[in-house]
């Protein structure tokens, strides 16, 4: 694990603009007081060692949970690399993915929407990035789902990612979108990112069939964490 030793401020336009009109929780959960700017001390520059022992990794096939059991929906493969801001691979990062099923419903007690569950799809997996920073998941394309409330809208198909990298400041929680979906430009959450190029980086890229085979529709998605410049890796 190569820890970054430099954390630059967020470049302009990358952080979502909040609160988000129509997304009630951004009004009731976000602090009203400004965040207090503090220097990064050792606590922020460090992170847990060998976290895969705490959080077992290797659960990379959400679409086929057991022999002869295949989830409903378009079978897809999502793969990419975990990188830092210098485009260096980040090995040993814990990558968690969760998503709705093909009908747009989560396997979660809080999701009580009237859409079908799929007995063959739980929709969560966790892997460890390899020596080149690579990760990958076999899953299905999730369905869209509506956000309740007076200003309701439909969330486009999306996949949630949580990444635990080499330092506390590398912690990333984000979402991946699918290219060309007509709901993308209508999504209040995606559109809260001011910079168009930054939004585009949240959209996966279709991968030519020659690279994944015909069993799975392939998407590429790189997870770029905060932080630059290596200090020597721990022996």
Task: Report the catalytic residues.
Answer: 106, 145, 155, 158, 160
Does residue 15 touch another protein according to CB under 8 A? Answer: yes
Among 20, 75, 212, 220, binds another protein (CB under 8 A): 20
The nearer residue to another protein, 18 or 206, going by C-beta atoms, is 18
50-69 residues in contact with another protein (CB under 8 A) are: 50-51, 53-56
| The residue count for the chain | 235
CA-to-CA distance for 56 and 76, rounded, in angstroms? 23
81-100 residues in contact with another protein (CB under 8 A) are: 83-87, 96, 98, 100
Residue 86 phi/psi, 5-degree rounding, is -95, 10
Q: Which helix (H) or strand (E) holds 202?
A: none
Q: Name the minimum Å distance from CB 26 to another protein.
A: 5
Question: In angstroms, what is the C-alpha Rg of the chain?
Answer: 18
Does residue 48 touch another protein according to CB under 8 A? Answer: yes
Among 5, 21, 151, 205, binds another protein (CB under 8 A): 5
Does residue 220 touch another protein according to CB under 8 A? Answer: no
**Stretch 164-203: interaction string toward another protein, x if CB under 8 A:** ---xxx-xxxxx-------------x--xx----xx-xx-
96-155 residues in contact with another protein (CB under 8 A) are: 96, 98, 100, 106-111, 122-124, 126
Using alpha carbons, select from 152, 55, 155, 147 the residue that is nearest to residue 95. Answer: 55
CA-to-CA distance for 164 and 133, rounded, in angstroms? 13
Residue owning tokens 């976000």: 30
Does residue 45 touch another protein according to CB under 8 A? Answer: yes
Give the 3-state secondary structure of residue 186.
Answer: helix
The two beta strands, 75-83 and 223-224, are parallel
């Amino acid at each position: 694990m190569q820890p970054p030793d430099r954390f630059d401020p967020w470049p302009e336009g990358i952080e979502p603009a909040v609160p988000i009109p129509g997304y009630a929780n951004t009004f009731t959960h976000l602090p009203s007081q400004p965040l207090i700017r503090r220097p990064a001390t050792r606590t922020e520059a460090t992170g847990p060692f060998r976290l895969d022992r705490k959080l077992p990794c290797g659960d990379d096939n959400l679409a086929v949970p057991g022999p002869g059991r295949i989830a409903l929906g378009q079978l897809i493969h999502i793969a990419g690399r975990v990188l830092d801001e210098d485009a260096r691979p980040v090995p040993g990062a814990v990558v968690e993915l969760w998503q709705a099923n093909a009908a747009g419903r989560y396997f979660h007690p809080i999701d009580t929407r009237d859409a079908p569950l799929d007995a063959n799809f739980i929709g969560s997996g966790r892997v460890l990035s390899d020596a080149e920073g690579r990760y990958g998941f076999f899953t299905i394309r999730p369905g869209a789902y509506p956000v309740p409330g007076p200003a309701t809208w439909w969330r486009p198909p999306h996949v949630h990612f949580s990444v635990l990298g080499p330092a506390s400041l590398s912690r990333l929680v984000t979402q991946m979108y699918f290219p060309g979906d007509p709901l993308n430009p209508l999504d209040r959450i995606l559109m809260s990112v001011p910079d168009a190029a930054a939004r585009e980086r949240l959209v996966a890229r279709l991968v030519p069939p020659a690279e994944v085979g015909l069993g799975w529709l392939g998407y590429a998605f790189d997870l770029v964490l905060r932080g630059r410049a290596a200090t020597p890796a721990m022996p």
